[in-house]
Structure 1
């Protein structure tokens, strides 16, 4: 075990945006990117409730990309397993980086409606709105897909 590492991520949270669907160049297939919010709640020393929301960029490929495009929507509660990947690229001579989770397994946790599509619970219709204020890019055009 000492000669190899482990790169595994497990997250449970709600989607903060609709899926962003792209296609890899040279018929490389579909890529779906989406933001996932996870939250922590704790009490500080003064017994006051504190909460922190962390935003994660998820990337789906192949059949999981088709599933994500069809069934995942803003506010859906999901469980994923995957691995971390960091991309690096230049924009106007400036190095940029992005760490994302490449999803390998997906479980949709909202109950399905009669058509099989996930139905949002009453609390999931308004997920955290900090996605746009958390320094996340709304425009993925400058990011290469590898």
Structure 2
């Protein structure tokens, strides 16, 4: 059986970071993901997907990303239910994120004119052994690593140009 979700979208509000009574960090957030087609009026619609992430990645998300930031989420769908304040049973479906990748540096979301930080916040730190997991300010930069770095030219991409 397989339960895997991969999403790329923008945060609809700042992540809500909280701590359990045992001191474990948990962040709830919602991302807006554009649908790959237009409606009858020619407008693009979006889905608003509730997500949750735990521990250190939750703290990283809350510290580095804010409303409007573009992120990538890798996780699984989980359902739960509880009794609401009105006594009725409430059913919730959300994405439990195993990995969140920051697709923009902090404060750079200017309508798609952003640079990719490539910073990954993993739920499972052992999964990326041997890979660099440094933040934007810690990454080493070499001229040969990024052929577009410091070229001075702006790249204009729309959602239609992206393969996902």
User: Bigger radius of gyration, 1 or 2?
Assistant: 2
Structures share a fold, TM > 0.5?
yes
Indicate the residue corresponding to 1:63 in structure 2: 56
Equivalences for residues 80-95 of structure 1 within 5 A: 80-91=73-84, 92-95=86-89
- Report the 3-state secondary structure (helix = DSSP H, G, I; strand = E; otherwise coil) of the residue aligned with 2:43: strand
Indicate the residue corresponding to 1:104 in structure 2: 98
Contact 1:57 1:101 in 2 (8 A): yes
What TM-score, normalized to structure 1? Answer: 0.69
Contact 1:41 1:49 in 2 (8 A): no
Distance 2:81 2:13 in 1: 23
CA deviation after TM superposition for structure 1 residue 93, in Å: 2.2
What TM-score, normalized to structure 2? Answer: 0.62
Q: Does 1:37 align with 2:32?
A: yes
Distance 1:52 1:14 in 2: 13
CA deviation after TM superposition for structure 1 residue 42, in Å: 2.6
Contact 1:41 1:50 in 2 (8 A): no
Indicate the residue corresponding to 2:110 in structure 1: 122
What is the aligned length? 111
Given candidates 66, 71, 82, the residue that maps to 1:73 is 66
* Structure 1 ranges of 4+ moved more than 3 A: none
- Report the 3-state secondary structure (helix = DSSP H, G, I; strand = E; otherwise coil) of the residue aligned with 2:29: strand
**Structural RMSD (CA):** 1.8
Query: Which of the pair has the greater relative contact order for Cα pairs under 8 Å at 6+ separation?
Result: 1
